[in-house]
A and B are shown apart, each in its own frame.
Chain A
Amino acid sequence: MTAPTVDEAAGGVLQGVGVGRRAVVGPVAQVRAAPAVPADAPLVVDGEVAGPGRVHDAVERAFAEVAAGLREQAAAASGTVADVLAATAQMADDAALRSQVLTRVDAGEPPVGAIDGVVEMFATMFEQAGGYLAERVTDLRSVRDRVVARTLGLPDPGVPRLDRASVVVARDLAPADTAALDLDKVLAIVTELGGPTGHTAIIAGQLGLPCVVRVAGAADLPDGTVVAVDAAAGTVQPDPDDAVRDAFERRRVAQAALAADTAPGATADGQAVALLANIGTPADAERVGAVAEGIGLFRTEVLFLERQAAPTVEEQAEAYAAVLRAADGRKVVVRTLDAGADKPLAFATQPDEENPALGVRGYRLVRSHPELLDTQLAALARAQDATGATPWVMAPMIATPEEARDFAARARAAGVVTAGVMVEVPAAALRAGDILAEVDFVSLGTNDLAQYAMATDRLRGELADLLDAWQPAVLDLVAATARAGAATGKPVGVCGESAADPVMALVLVGLGVTSLSMAPGALPAARYAVRRHTSARCGQIAAAALDARTAREARAAATALVDPEVRTTLAL
């Protein structure tokens, strides 16, 4: 997430959390909120309060119409969107929900109160179950709102029909609402609630829409107000002037050009910086296309998660071969199983570890389950034989040179010659020279390195300021690793979130990192930033970051040395 760069004094700029880097200008289309009706509001027909019989019929018809409408939308949609709509339609169609509401209505309870009461009972059950179900509560309440509106003859809540390209604004969007959007007419999505990892943000990301969430006051913007939405800065600016409009248009043109550039990564003076993609499945590998020079991180644990037993050697060999074929001769770095801590496995990890992040995870599983690693390496060797490609392999969570030596010996014995390790533990960063003496390359996992350097659990959102790759102590560890790579002439890559930050990419290149691996969508910005700076300039940017005393100062010092045109184009 980039720091906001908006002038606080600018008229009425609303600040939120941006998802993506794009920026657009367009008119607001407010998503209508749920009808605000009291629980005891009566159903009035022809000026008279309806009795239980008529209420029963109205409620039953409302449920049927809402379910039918959602099913119709589902049939017209595809993929995840269709699934979300179909599941919501089935909630509206639910026999238990309907019969319990009708039972209360027949007993004389007002319709809104009856619907509220039953929906809230289910919502409470979902919330208590937690996880996936807790997230479905938004869907359940959107069913409630639709049924209440239909019963009382009020306009349907939710997404309006868009007659022109618009910025869709809501307090919160149910996934079913997001799914119902006419995408040809949606420029961006803005919400008051929600988070950067919520449903709305994820769906917007999948649809390639700029999105800003947690924008206080967004729901008060009048329909039709023209706003400038900047996902990179996380801002929504009402009534932008011509200068802002022109700047956004230049960014749009420049970003379209960035995405079209798929040449190999290099600095302005021609120093190669391999730009690679992080993937989790063979399907991801298929999608990478020409934007990356190869795969810098294939997270094999995705093959193992939510299973009762490890995949067989045949099954794994097939998946690895599929990735090698998709890479079509380009580099592929396969990471062996990184399970444990926040990625538990039923058949390998211990559920009762007191401090799982400090426990038996990653390469350490070899102590209790050596067969897992040996099966993986055998499968990789088979995939190598089957495809004729020569993958690199690396182990996660290596702390000592002995572990590195043991892993390399196992890999080479299996027939995979190029063996490396992840540097995620400060001990490995500080003694990277000794580690590199045992292996062919190292790759820095900056998220975990920051977690262990700063003693900060990656999953604790409230400590996000500590868990920052810009922390000078983390930068020192990266610099120590890169120095060891330069001294031994061996490659040092980075395959963490930090490589996706274009300014950090310049710092990493300046420190001597030789490859950057990231989500494919982040590659064009990194490629452009690297191309527009000489290796000497990257060195100055890195030095400025290392000289800083705090994470914020480090980022500011580095950003100040970035080419102004790059800053503008990428909205840094």
Chain B
Amino acid sequence: MAERTVAVASRVGLHARPAMLFTQAVAASGVPVTIAKAGGAPVDASSILFVMSLGVPHGEEVTLAADGPDADRVLDELVALLATDLDAPDAPGTAAAS
């Protein structure tokens, strides 16, 4: 079982667009991956519903886990994704509320 822990860099946390991009990447990898918050139960990382339900805010750490020959490569790619701000200011639908 390969594991990685990473702090979520997106400013809105793992919601909305970042959650969508992340779960799409997991599904595209073809490898079953789980995601968990510290002390929480791991859930299916390809499910946007489960991932959003975690309610991970900006800066909180999550742990990804996977098995198999491709696990390390896939986890490295996913960690790089989570360490990026997926909610960049030019992204649609991110206008700040005032």
> Residue-by-residue, is A76-87 near B (CB-CB < 8 Å gives 1, otherwise 0)?
000110111011
- B47-66 at interface with A (beta carbon < 8 Å): 47-50, 52-53, 55, 58-59
Contacts of B20 in A (CB 8 A): 86-87, 90
Contacts of B46 in A (CB 8 A): 95-96
Contacts of B15 in A (CB 8 A): 132-133
Look across to chain A and name the residue whose beta carbon is closest to the beta carbon of B58. Answer: A306
**A86–B91 CA distance with the chains assembled, in angstroms:** 14
Contacts of B27 in A (CB 8 A): 95
Contacts of A130 in B (CB 8 A): 55
CB < 8 Å A-B pair total: 70
Q: How far is the CB of B77 from chain A (nearest CB, A)?
A: 19
Look across to chain A and name the residue whose beta carbon is closest to the beta carbon of B52. Answer: A133
- A83-125 at interface with B (beta carbon < 8 Å): 83-84, 86-87, 90-91, 94-97, 122, 125
Interface size, chain A (Cβ < 8 Å)? 31
**A130–B53 CA distance with the chains assembled, in angstroms:** 10
Question: If A133-B55, A308-B59 touch, does A94 touch B92 (CB 8 Å cutoff)?
Answer: no
Does residue B44 face the partner (Cβ distance < 8 Å to A)? yes
Contacts of B50 in A (CB 8 A): 96
Q: How far is the CB of B52 from chain A (nearest CB, A)?
A: 6
Q: Is the CB of B93 within 8 A of A125?
A: no
Q: Is the CB of B59 within 8 A of A280?
A: no
Q: Is the CB of A126 within 8 A of B52?
A: yes
Q: Is the CB of A91 within 8 A of B93?
A: no
Q: How far is the CB of A125 from chain B (nearest CB, A)?
A: 4
**A283–B93 CA distance with the chains assembled, in angstroms:** 14
Partner of B92, one of A82, A90, A136, A281: A82
Interface size, chain B (Cβ < 8 Å)? 26
Contacts of B17 in A (CB 8 A): 83, 87
Contacts of A84 in B (CB 8 A): 93
Q: Is the CB of B92 within 8 A of A83?
A: yes
Q: Is the CB of A133 within 8 A of B47?
A: no
Does residue B83 face the partner (Cβ distance < 8 Å to A)? no
Q: Is the CB of A122 within 8 A of B53?
A: yes
Q: Is the CB of B92 within 8 A of A302?
A: no
Question: If A91-B48, A95-B27, A302-B98 touch, does A80 touch B93 (CB 8 Å cutoff)?
Answer: yes
> Residue-by-residue, is B66-88 near A (CB-CB < 8 Å gives 1, otherwise 0)?
00000000000000000000000
**A90–B49 CA distance with the chains assembled, in angstroms:** 9
- A317-353 at interface with B (beta carbon < 8 Å): none
Q: Is the CB of B44 within 8 A of A96?
A: yes
Q: How far is the CB of B85 from chain A (nearest CB, A)?
A: 11
Contacts of A253 in B (CB 8 A): none
Contacts of A86 in B (CB 8 A): 20
Does residue A557 face the partner (Cβ distance < 8 Å to B)? no
Contacts of B96 in A (CB 8 A): 280-281, 302, 305-306
Does residue A299 face the partner (Cβ distance < 8 Å to B)? yes
Q: How far is the CB of B21 from chain A (nearest CB, A)?
A: 10
Does residue A9 face the partner (Cβ distance < 8 Å to B)? no
- B1-43 at interface with A (beta carbon < 8 Å): 11-12, 15-17, 20, 23-24, 27, 43
Partner of A129, one of B44, B53, B59: B53
- A281-325 at interface with B (beta carbon < 8 Å): 281, 283, 299, 302, 305-308
Contacts of B11 in A (CB 8 A): 306-307
Q: How far is the CB of B57 from chain A (nearest CB, A)?
A: 10
Q: How far is the CB of A73 from chain B (nearest CB, A)?
A: 16
Partner of B53, one of A90, A125, A305, A308: A125
> Residue-by-residue, is A465-492 near B (CB-CB < 8 Å gives 1, otherwise 0)?
0000000000000000000000000000
**A136–B20 CA distance with the chains assembled, in angstroms:** 14
- A57-90 at interface with B (beta carbon < 8 Å): 79-80, 82-84, 86-87, 90
Q: Is the CB of A94 within 8 A of B48?
A: yes
Q: How far is the CB of A362 from chain B (nearest CB, A)?
A: 15
Contacts of B43 in A (CB 8 A): 96
Partner of A91, one of B49, B58, B92, B98: B49
Look across to chain B and name the residue whose beta carbon is closest to the beta carbon of A83. Answer: B93
Look across to chain B and name the residue whose beta carbon is closest to the beta carbon of A343. Answer: B98
Q: Is the CB of A94 within 8 A of B53?
A: no
Q: Is the CB of A122 within 8 A of B49?
A: yes
Question: If A126-B53, A133-B52, A299-B98 touch, does A94 touch B93 (CB 8 Å cutoff)?
Answer: no
Look across to chain A and name the residue whose beta carbon is closest to the beta carbon of B12. Answer: A306
Question: If A83-B17, A96-B47 touch, does A308 touch B58 (CB 8 Å cutoff)?
Answer: yes
**A308–B9 CA distance with the chains assembled, in angstroms:** 10
Q: How far is the CB of A334 from chain B (nearest CB, A)?
A: 14
Contacts of A80 in B (CB 8 A): 92-93
Contacts of B92 in A (CB 8 A): 79-80, 82-83
**A45–B80 CA distance with the chains assembled, in angstroms:** 49
Contacts of B53 in A (CB 8 A): 122, 125-126, 129, 133
Contacts of A95 in B (CB 8 A): 27, 44, 46-47
Q: Is the CB of B55 within 8 A of A280?
A: no
Q: How far is the CB of B11 from chain A (nearest CB, A)?
A: 5
**A97–B17 CA distance with the chains assembled, in angstroms:** 19
Further 6 A-B residue pairs, CB within 8 A, beyond A281-B96, A305-B96 = A83-B16, A130-B55, A280-B96, A281-B95, A283-B95, A306-B58
Can you identify 13 A-B contacts, CB atoms within 8 angstroms?
A: A80-B93, A82-B92, A83-B17, A87-B48, A90-B20, A96-B44, A126-B53, A129-B52, A129-B53, A130-B55, A140-B49, A306-B11, A307-B11
The 6 tightest CB contacts between A and B, nearest first, are: A96-B47, A129-B55, A280-B98, A83-B93, A125-B53, A80-B93
